[in-house]
A and B are shown apart, each in its own frame.
Chain A
Amino acid sequence: MSNAAWVILIGSLASAACALVGCFLVLRKQAMMGDAISHAVLPGIVIAFLIAESRAPAPMLIGAGALGLLTAFTTEALERYGRLQPDASIGVTFTWLFAVGVILVSAFAGHVDLDAECVLYGEIASAPWDVWLWGGADMGPRAVWILGTITAANLVFVLLGYKQLKITSFDPAMAAALGINVTLWHYLLMAFVSFTTVGAFESVGAILVVAMLIVPANTAYLLTDRLSRMLALAVAMGIASAAGGYGLAALLDASIAGAMAVVSGALFVVAALFSPTHGVIFGYFARRHALVAPDEAAP
């Protein structure tokens, strides 16, 4: 496979994994939790790195998962016991953890093969060369395996928990009445967001993960009213952003991850303007039609 194809594949896998969990963040109005978790996993990654002294995925996933859940717990605790408003709880929690992460990176700069910039925008361009050697055989880029596993795990999570995720997202009160553990599913989702974040982290960095989590999901949200279609569309939008982003980056000789975020933003703008149902332009006529119709029916 050519280098370009690998990069697009890695980007697509990262986008697909993010889009699957991102749809639920968007529907639960917790988009900024994605932002918070993607920043807050940094100290977890650095600590895992210092302990394991390698980029082995298992310790990193554990470290990031722990920090992701810690963020979710702290935010909730500050809200409940500290009587802080939700947006401020998120703001205080993740900025602190991210600052600690940056301090750790600077303090152990000699030992950690991570630099602050790569934390922010990843290094997807060099990912194809970071191959996984298994018994001497070249198994292809490591990132493909890691992100492939995470995408598969997210897909299984969404398929198995489809009903519970759907009900707890749209109507938590009804979910509770049906005997679904709303808190458990909240934390499960947060755990999967954390894993996804750390998987995508190496390739696209902390902040562009946020773009992948919520931009394609919001684009899909403007195009359909069905959850299953929203998930499929979000994945498709993510893949389109990955491919388009690669093209744009190649054109400008600039960061691929940055270009992917820009393309996903452009796709959102197109959907916001031209979506047949919820777009600003056609939606305007659709709403006017809907408002006018009953009047015409009336005598």
Chain B
Amino acid sequence: MNGAGAAAALPPWLDFFTFREPNVRLILAGCVLLGVSAGAIGCFALLRKRALLGDALAHAALPGVCAAFMLTGTKDPVIILAGAVASCWTGAIAIDLISRYTRVKEESALGMVLSVFFGAGILLLTYIQHSGNAAQAGLDKFLFGQASAMLDRDVGTLAIAAALMLAAVALAYKEFKVVSFDPQFARSIGLPTRSIETALATLTVLAVAIGLQAVGVVLMAAMLVTPAASARYWTDHLGRMVLLSGAFGALSGAIGTYVSYLGPRMPTGPWMVVAATLVFTASLLFAPGRGLVARVLLMRRLRRKTAEENILRTLYLNGERAGAMDAPCSMTRLMQYRAMNAWALERTLARLKGRGLVREGEDGTFALTGAGVERGARLTRLHRLWELYLTRKLEIAPDHVHDDAEEIEHIITPELEARLVAALNDPAEDPHAQRIPPGPGAGNVVV
């Protein structure tokens, strides 16, 4: 497959990108088309919690491939595709029947169809091989796929199938969306949910069938699950998810082709799966919002905010007790009130000082600034409003409400505050007979 004559000057890793070789173009097109369609269809399977259906169906395609060959004696892509589709369909129906009419659970049904159909496929495959039919050579390539053996007509079939599938997704997008997210709602508004589910299953079957040649029955499952799972990290919007997943699938197809171009012994299908998994790992770690790093940072920010607010409130209570809001408080006292280690306390105080909410006295004590008093008052107000709400409306004993208020004071929004004030008739005292600091628009809040 290495570069031919003329521009031998280019090293293979670069030569690939000239796309001069028709063979490279063909395989690349095949793998990218496959990646796009499997990625897009996989989203719906993932959202319907059927991510492993693709795995079962891909394995279930094998007996169909063999039977189609046995009946016709050719390896024509359309006939093989038809055989694969028929046998995937039988598998899908078997899974449905088993989980519906026996007490066997759905995931057991998936595993059984996967392994028994695959066993039947192996039985037929070995039967054909031992029968001495010379035309059978290459039939076993459907196990792991062999992208490099794809011909014009294979890629042509693939392109037509992929175009049909993507068109179906675009046309029935709204229906697929409703059925994927809320099948009960879909039924209630009169959508033919069974037919739509059948259509989705058919598309999965088609995606599997067209992937067989490049990726093979064993690894096709990955192309349906992994790009979709990666895309899920980046967005909550289905349309974007489908596009992203298709793009990830295409990227994996391209990388798989590239690697097997560079290393002649390297199989394309498995490298596509490895590439898709790398994309997945990057998404898992770095996607904004849902990614691991983003969530760890968010947690850290929340923990810091909580620690800061706790200190502000402690200083406020200290001021209340002393009768002067800017009464200083030593580190030792603060640590008695709050179960924080000295290091965390120092860092939190330093951050508060930096934002002008707390000032440090010369004797190493800390006191609230004017802005700090304001924040402390508001937090204390929320805390006490919540305590009062719990005792008055939920009739919880006053000595049981502190811990709950301690958590919720950090997250009560102004809207919720207004509703609490209205529900409690703008109270002045909490259940422990302590004054509730007045809010900004105290007294005239109407909900």
Contact = CB atoms under 8 A, between A and B. Distances in A.
Contacts of A255: 122-123, 125-126
A131 interface: no
Contact of B55 (A29, A91, A249, A272): A91
B437 interface: no
Instruction: Identify the interface centre among A39, A98, A261: most chain B CB within 10 Å of its CB.
Output: A261
A207 B50 CA distance: 20
Nearest to A122: B122
A214 B115 contact: yes
Contacts of A85: 46, 49, 51
Interface stretch (B105-113, B234-242, B397-405, B413-421): B105-113
B112 A215 contact: yes
B115 A106 contact: no
A265 interface: yes
B248 interface: no
A49 B163 CA distance: 44
B69 interface: no
A29 B222 contact: no
Contact of B105 (A31, A91, A210, A249): A31
A139 to B, nearest CB: 29
Report the contact-size class of chain B (Cβ under 8 Å from the partner). Answer: 35 or more
A162 interface: no
B114 A109 contact: no
Interface stretch (A6-14, A76-84, A179-187): A76-84
B284 interface: yes
Contacts of A39: 218
B83 interface: no
A213 B127 CA distance: 25
Contact of A215 (B54, B115, B123, B266): B115
B105 A207 contact: no
Given A31-B108, A278-B102, A91 B226 contact: yes
Interface in B89-146: 98, 101-105, 107-108, 110-112, 114-116, 118-127, 130-131, 140, 143-144
B122 A120 contact: yes
Contact of A95 (B46, B124, B225): B225
A293 B46 CA distance: 43
Contacts of B232: 84
Contacts of A215: 112, 115-116
Contacts of B75: none
Contacts of B46: 85, 88
B275 to A, nearest CB: 10
11 contacts: A29-B105, A85-B49, A95-B273, A99-B222, A106-B267, A207-B119, A210-B115, A254-B124, A258-B121, A265-B119, A268-B112
**A-B residue pairs, 9 tightest by C-beta:** A261-B119, A265-B116, A258-B122, A95-B222, A211-B115, A258-B123, A91-B225, A99-B273, A99-B270
